[in-house]
Every structure is written in structure tokens, then in C-alpha cells.
């Protein structure tokens, strides 16, 4: 891909989906972009919210997703300046980010929680039921339960391609709410779910903390 673009109509549509999933953590929105936009869903999430004053970074653990290439394309499409992960307001991760990167992302402070970063992570599949489109998705599968504001009782997410360790570290990062990071998970089919910094995250088989 030599360029990326997101039409104004799609930008508004993606923005609403991001707000909806963040206000109801663990619910899933399925994005379908129009032919006027040329970008993967996870990139559309970023483009819908950054501008010339928003610092962003791209990281990748996926062999066919070159972070420098995507950084260049996203900057050209948005005008947003790239920065290191520790200085970014938004981080887009193709695949699961390393623990070092996850722990370096700004999380703000209890007095200035707005300084916390927003993280977008791509994965193989995310589902509310353990029924996947790809048989390979059942490998490296993590199931989590979510409780907290915006959730009536409990929401369950089945995530293929993101390890249990990621969610354990995310819990630790968000244990000083209102400081923390908000996370959007996006799969290859355009399914998007969010985990707010106020959300209690538990592994289904192992409880990893309560707020």
C-alpha cells in the first residue's frame, strides 16, 4: 500500500464506533468502510482521531507490517507528528506490543489522567463467543471477563493473537485509576472492542485483580 486515506463520512462513523465500544467495554462493533477510504480498519481507528497536533507512534510484532512504512503513510494522511512510544498520545500496534513498549506508554497521573495514552492493538480475531472464522484463531487464544462502568454485569471476550500476559500487564498499568491507558482491539475482519482504563479485567481461568 502506497498511501492511506479515510473519508470524512467514514471518519465520523469510525469515531462513533470507538466511543460506543469505549463506553460499553467488551461489546463489539464491526467496521465496514466505504470504497472512498483506503486503509485497514486498525489504521482507520487511528486516522479518525489524530490531527496535526497529535503525537503518535507505530510499533509492530508482525513480519509483514513495517512500522516505519506505516508511520510514513499515516503522517502523510493526517499531518500528525510521529514520536517515541513514551511521548505519544496514540500508539498503533500491529500485533501484540512487547511488555517493554506497553510499560513505556504514558499513563498520566491521578491528577492528570488525560495525559494517558490510547493504544490500538491488532489481533487475529476478537469475538464475544468462541466461534471463529479462521480455525487458526483457536491457537494462542485468550479469554477475558470485563466488569465495571458501562457493563451491566460481565462481558466476555475471546481474543486470538494476544497473550494472557498482555492483559495481566494492562491490569497492573490501570490499577491506579483514573491514570492508565484505554485500549482498542481490532481484528483482521474489522471487529473492534475496547477496554477502558476503568474496566476490571480478569482472565477467565485466573483472577488477575479487582478494583
As a whole number of angstroms, the distance between CA 188 and CA 198 comes to 26
Q: How many CB atoms lie within 10 A of CB 34?
A: 10
Element (H, E) at 17: helix 8-23
Predicted confidence (pLDDT) per residue in 20-49, tens digit: 999 999 999 999 999 999 999 999 999 999
As a whole number of angstroms, the distance between CA 17 and CA 207 comes to 29
- Of 120, 185, 118, 190, the closest CA to residue 155 belongs to 185
Q: Are 121 and 159 in contact (CB under 8 A)?
A: no
In this predicted model, which residue has the larger pLDDT, 6 or 133?
A: 6
Predicted confidence (pLDDT) per residue in 146-205, tens digit: 999 999 999 999 999 999 999 999 999 999 899 999 999 999 999 999 999 999 999 986
List the domain range (segments joined by +) for residue 31: 8-203
For the chain, what is the domain count? 1
Mean per-residue pLDDT of the chain: 92
**Against a cut of 0.85, is the pTM above it?**
yes
2 within domain boundaries? no
Q: Which CATH number characterizes residue 115's domain?
A: 3.40.50.11310
Amino acid at each position: 500500500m502506497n498511501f492511506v486515506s479515510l473519508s470524512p463520512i467514514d471518519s465520523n462513523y469510525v469515531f462513533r464506533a470507538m466511543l460506543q465500544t469505549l463506553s460499553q467495554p467488551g461489546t463489539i462493533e464491526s467496521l465496514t468502510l466505504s470504497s472512498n477510504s483506503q486503509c485497514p480498519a486498525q489504521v482507520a481507528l487511528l486516522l479518525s482521531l489524530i490531527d496535526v497536533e497529535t503525537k503518535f507512534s507505530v510499533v509492530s510484532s508482525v513480519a509483514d507490517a513495517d512500522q516505519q512504512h506505516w508511520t510514513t503513510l499515516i503522517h502523510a494522511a493526517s499531518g500528525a507528528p510521529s514520536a517515541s512510544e513514551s511521548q505519544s498520545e496514540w500508539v498503533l500496534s500491529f500485533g501484540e506490543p512487547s511488555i517493554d513498549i506497553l510499560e513505556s506508554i504514558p499513563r498520566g497521573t491521578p491528577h492528570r489522567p488525560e495525559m494517558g495514552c490510547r493504544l490500538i492493538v491488532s489481533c487475529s480475531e476478537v469475538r464475544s463467543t468462541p466461534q471463529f472464522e479462521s480455525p487458526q484463531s483457536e491457537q494462542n487464544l485468550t479469554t477475558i471477563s470485563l466488569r465495571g462502568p458501562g457493563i451491566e454485569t460481565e462481558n466476555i471476550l475471546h481474543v486470538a493473537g494476544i497473550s494472557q500476559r498482555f492483559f495481566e500487564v494492562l491490569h497492573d498499568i490501570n490499577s491506579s485509576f483514573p491514570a492508565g491507558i484505554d485500549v482498542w482491539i481490532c481484528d483482521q475482519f474489522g471487529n473492534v472492542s475496547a477496554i477502558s482504563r476503568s474496566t476490571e479485567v480478569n482472565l477467565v481461568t485466573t483472577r488477575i485483580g479487582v478494583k
